[in-house]
Amino acid sequence: MQNAAEIVVQRLTKDYGRFRAVDDINFEVARGSVVGFLGPNGAGKTTTIRMLTCYMPPSSGQARVAGFDVFSQSLQVRQNIGYLPENTPLYPEMRVEEYLDYRGKLRGLNRTARKQRIAEVADRCWLTDRLRWLVGKLSKGYRQRLGIADALLHNPPVLVLDEPTVGLDPSQIREARKLIAELAGRHTVLLSTHILSEVELVCQRVIIIGRGKILAQGTPDELKQQCARAGAAGSRLLVEVRGPSDQVLSAIKALPGVEKVQVLADGPVQSLAVVGRLDAQLREQIAALVVQRGWALREMRIGGATLEEFFVQITDPGTSQAAA
Amino acid sequence: MSRIMAVAGRELKSLFYSPVAYIVLVLYLLFVGLLFSMLVFIPGELANPQPMFAWNHLILIFIVPFITMSLLAEEYRSGRIEVLRTSPIAEMEIILGKFLGAMGFYCVVIASSLVFVLTLVAFGRPDFHPIFTSYLGLLLMGSMMVAIGVFFSALSEHQILAAMSTCVTLVALGILVGFVRQLVPTSWFAATQIRHVLGYMAIESHMANFARGVVDTQNIVYFLTGTCLFLFLTYVVLESRRWR
């Protein structure tokens, strides 16, 4: 167990004055996996990442990255980590190649290793045609690629990417995700984000953090199940009916066990979300009702719990019981 | 060591990419040229460049802050400090790299004044010994000035603030201390001792010997301890900023 975990965080805490940004968190990241670090803005994601990358020391608790302690073996940790900070700060006056060469020198790579690695990461991050460009002239997408190329340059076992897809256009986001998915296996990746679909696409595990605490962790499927269980009473029945809209709405509302009916799409065909006690009886009642009135039932299904619903539910300060 | 040189090399290149470097060079040449044409290049007089070097610090006081202002302040402002400090490089290596990069540019600046030395050689036969010691003095004085600049650059996120505080400190050490020393009344308790201490603090008193051709260990110690002190203070500032 100890061997398989590349990042081990134990009782990690960070205080900014009286404000506790990260509160006694524990988690592990297995070697070679891609783990999503999810949370709303201001939840403590970046603070945690900054402690893991040795940018700032923890107030208490400890963390080990690639077997080294972030506080007492900071240089070794930094040698074994590739880090893409939020917003990708770069030197605008340097050329792409020049920047990567400089970064290689800082990581202690010799001349031949630098040349070889720069060619490799440039190829991998689709940067080859931009090597002679000034960094300041690159588009946001290319800057992000350069940041990832820099993180990969010394081939570190651990990669920490802080919101790598922010500010990219949809096709660039798809490329970035493809790249991150490719990195799994060879590298251990901790990916911070607040975009849920990203986590579902590329991560094997998810850690959800909110207000400095870990609220949930597991595989995306596990979290969805957990969500479905926790919110069984709140799940929805999606019904599509052709018929006069006001009558359909009032008739379904009148059925026993129905708490609320949301209209998702109106028109000759109504798409409704029914919230309430969704047992089989209700579904049969709705079907019978539709047939009895001579309307047409086009679709009826139980809406699957999405990760997004779970996320909103557990990170919303109003529903603190979900944290348990 | 190679990491220090990587930071220094990048910094030096970066200085040449910015227009500030060229403005600084031009201004330096302009003012040293004024000193040269008014005090040194006089037909019929001895070819003695001493005044040009003895007053050089008055120009450099206003030049060095512009060389050093962006060193660390800009890293903090842009967020690149995060990239730098999460790289496997020690704090002191960052500081020394920045310091040496700025020193490299400083050397280019003072070397540009060789134009005037060459002019002097073309028209007369100056003594090379004091010229050599003058450049040694300028180098040592510059290292202290640059260290002060690095220190103030680490304190702030704003380049202008860094430049101004460096400038104020250099003016205090280079000009004001000398005046204050004159103002200490002889009636004061230990007036001569106070004057002596103030005189030792002043940059000009240490530069004057080098310009005359005298290499005194006292002057060398002054500039080197000043350099080490401010580089160490920079380290303290950088360390303390980590905990905030």
Residue of A nearest to B240 (CA): A56
State the nearest Cα–Cα gap between A90 and chain B, in angstroms: 6
B159 SS3 class: helix
| Highest mean pLDDT (candidates A200-204, A299-303, B27-31, B181-185) | B27-31
Helix (H) or strand (E) holding B121: helix B114-123
Tokens standing for B46?
A: 């001895």
Tell me the pairing of strands A34-38 and A188-193.
parallel
B79 and A87: CB-CB below 8 Å? yes
Give residue for tokens 């134009």. B115
Domain count, chain B: 1
State the nearest Cα–Cα gap between A156 and chain B, in angstroms: 12
pLDDT of A218 higher than 90: no
Tokens standing for A147?
A: 């940041």
Asked if A75 has any chain B CB less than 8 Å from its own CB, the reply is yes
> What pLDDT score was predicted for residue A309?
64
> What pLDDT score was predicted for residue A225?
72
> What pLDDT score was predicted for residue A320?
41
Cβ-nearest to A89 among B7, B80, B90: B80
Give the domain range for residue B69. Answer: 2-243
Whole-angstrom Cα distance, residue A57 to residue B204?
43
Whole-angstrom Cα distance, residue A78 to residue B6?
17
Asked if A231 has any chain B CB less than 8 Å from its own CB, the reply is no
Strand stretches in A31-119, DSSP E: 34-38, 60-65, 68-69, 81-84
Asked if B19 has any chain A CB less than 8 Å from its own CB, the reply is no
Say what the alpha-carbon torsion angle B205, B211, B214, B219 is, to the nearest 10 degrees: 40
> What pLDDT score was predicted for residue A319?
44
Cβ-nearest to A53 among B18, B80, B86: B86
Q: Which band of pLDDT confidence, cut at 50, 70 and 90, is reported for residue A147?
A: very high
State the nearest Cα–Cα gap between A86 and chain B, in angstroms: 9
Q: What angle do CA A243, A245, A249 make, to 5 degrees?
A: 105
Angstrom CA distances, A118 to A153, A178, B43, stand at 7, 20, 60
Q: Report yes or no: A143 and A99 within 8 Å, Cβ to Cβ.
A: no
B148 SS3 class: helix
Report chain A residues whose CB lies below 8 A from the CB of B88: 75-76, 78-79, 106-108
Whole-angstrom Cα distance, residue A127 to residue A118?
10
Tell me the pairing of strands A296-302 and A236-242.
antiparallel
Whole-angstrom Cα distance, residue B61 to residue B55?
11
Residue of B nearest to A147 (CA): B83
Q: Could you tell me the domains of chain A? A: 5-219 (3.40.50.300), 232-304 (3.30.70.3100)
How many beta carbons lie within 10 A of that of residue B227, not counting itself?
Answer: 22
pLDDT of A49 higher than 90: yes
User: In terms of Cα–Cα distance, which of B203, B185, B204 is closest to B195?
Assistant: B185
Give residue for tokens 């940067």. A127
Paired residues of A230 in beta bridges: none
Report chain A residues whose CB lies below 8 A from the CB of B3: 105-106, 108
Q: Report yes or no: A275 and A301 within 8 Å, Cβ to Cβ.
A: no
User: In terms of Cα–Cα distance, which of A149, A219, A159 is closest to A189?
Assistant: A159
Residue of B nearest to A56 (CA): B242
CB pairs under 8 A between A and B: 64
Give per-residue pLDDT as tens, A232-285. Answer: 445 677 788 888 888 888 888 888 878 778 777 777 788 887 877 666 678 888
Q: What is the mean pLDDT of residues B146-175?
A: 94
Report chain A residues whose CB lies below 8 A from the CB of B9: 102
The sheet carrying A19-30 orders its strands as A19-30, A5-16, A60-65, A68-69
Q: What is the mean pLDDT of residues A286-297?
A: 87
* ipTM (interface pTM): 0.88
Predicted TM-score (pTM) of the model is 0.83
Asked if A137 has any chain B CB less than 8 Å from its own CB, the reply is no
